[in-house]
């Protein structure tokens, strides 16, 4: 029986690191590693430098929790945004989808995750206390829950909705035009715009 060739330790470490990316299995990681090493060494160097710079310079915005160089991100600092509306999303990618829909001019809070009892992500792990504090600033009148229409996204929306309504806030959820089981970042901008316009309490 043929024995599989063992990778040199540095190559194995690179493949292992690439496998940390979402949706990347061992075969894809191996192809990426070979490409960077064999065909695009300048690109590999640029990638490591850009990643190191991002890790060093980026922080979380003090208001919305997204990635930012400044303490307050550009969107939160924009006086043209409607501060009475707060849209809660799971990731910066979800925020980008909503912005691309051109159907929302309020502010955001990015959870950087969602409740996942089986995965060990509880209220504390995704900072839900900070969400409640942000929403209860005295300016916000409506909170739009734009978590994904997955089991975990629905649990997160339900938990947040109950806590926010208890504080006297109007809480709405994206309309069900977004397909069940969908991650928001993969939904087209037109569908997101419709779901925002048709949101319900």
The 10s digit of each residue's pLDDT in 143-187 is 999 998 888 888 899 989 999 999 999 999 987 665 555 567 666
Domain co-membership, 41 together with 125 = no
Residue 1 has what pLDDT? 47
Mean pLDDT of all residues in 133-139: 92
Q: How many domains does the chain have?
A: 2
DSSP assigned state of 101: T
Specify if 165 maps to a domain: yes
Specify if 95 maps to a domain: yes
* Residue 70 scores a pLDDT above 90: yes
Residue 66 has what pLDDT? 96
CA distance 117 to 119: 5
Domain co-membership, 29 together with 101 = no
CA distance 193 to 175: 10
Q: Is the overall model pTM greater than 0.85, yes or no?
A: no
Domain co-membership, 100 together with 31 = no
Specify if 183 maps to a domain: no
**Residue 164 belongs to a domain with what CATH number?**
3.40.1360.10
Domain co-membership, 106 together with 42 = no
CA distance 133 to 196: 24
Specify if 74 maps to a domain: no
Residue pair 67/45 in contact (Cβ under 8 Å)? The answer is no
Domain that holds residue 48: 10-17+25-57
Specify if 198 maps to a domain: no
Domain co-membership, 116 together with 149 = yes
Tokens of 172: 């709405």
Domain co-membership, 43 together with 101 = no
Domain co-membership, 86 together with 167 = yes
Specify if 182 maps to a domain: no
Query: CA torsion angle for 80, 82, 87, 92 (degrees, to 10)?
Result: 10
Specify if 131 maps to a domain: yes
CA distance 111 to 99: 17
């Amino acid at each position: 029986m043929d024995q599989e060739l063992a990778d040199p330790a540095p190559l194995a470490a690179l493949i292992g690191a690439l496998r940390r990316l979402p949706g990347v299995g061992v075969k894809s990681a191996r192809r990426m590693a070979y490409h960077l090493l064999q065909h695009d060494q300048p690109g590999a160097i640029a990638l490591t430098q850009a990643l190191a710079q991002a890790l060093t310079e980026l922080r979380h915005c003090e208001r919305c929790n997204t990635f930012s160089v400044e303490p307050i991100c550009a969107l939160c600092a924009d006086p043209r945004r409607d501060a009475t509306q707060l849209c809660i999303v799971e990731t910066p990618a979800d925020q980008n989808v909503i912005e691309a829909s051109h159907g929302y001019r309020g502010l955001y809070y990015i959870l950087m995750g969602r409740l996942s009892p089986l995965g060990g992500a509880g209220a504390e792990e995704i900072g839900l206390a900070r969400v409640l504090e942000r929403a209860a600033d005295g300016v916000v009148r409506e909170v739009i829950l734009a978590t994904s229409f997955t089991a975990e996204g629905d649990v997160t929306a339900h938990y947040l909705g109950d806590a926010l309504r208890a504080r006297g806030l109007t809480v709405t959820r994206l309309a069900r035009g977004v397909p069940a089981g969908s991650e928001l970042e993969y939904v087209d901008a037109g569908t997101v715009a419709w779901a925002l316009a048709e949101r319900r309490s």
